[in-house]
Amino acid sequence: MRPAPLLARARAALLPIACATLAGYFAYHAVIGETGLLAWGGYRAEHARLEQQATAIHAKRTALEHRVALLNPSHVDPDLADELVRKNLNVVRPDEVVVPLPAKDAAGD
């Protein structure tokens, strides 16, 4: 007894349909997926932003390393030491004149 012609055609078409469905699934995710072609633009923008942030942090770190090197106990930079003493201890030399400035209120006037 022969199977029905419709059933025979369905069985013959099952493998190509399954392969096409599988290829479509992978193609969809390759283009629209989380790591697909459309996501590359966002990743490139994020990479550029992070590179810029890393460059800024590196520059700040270099400046801080230089400032720390100036505070080496064996040879302290006199200008930096004077700046820190004046800022932190509120001291002045006897021959200097202090001009008080009006304090700014919280409104920023």
Q: Among all chains, which residue has been given the structure tokens 């989380």? A: 34
Global pTM value:
0.51
What's the pLDDT tens digit per position in 88-105?
A: 888 888 888 878 888 887
What's the pLDDT tens digit per position in 74-89?
A: 888 888 888 888 888 8
CA distances from 14 to 3, 17, 19, 74 (A): 16, 5, 9, 83
Q: State how far the Cα of 44 lies from the Cα of 35, in Å rounded to an integer.
A: 12
Confidence of residue 1 (pLDDT cuts 50, 70, 90): low
Q: What is the pLDDT of residue 72?
A: 85
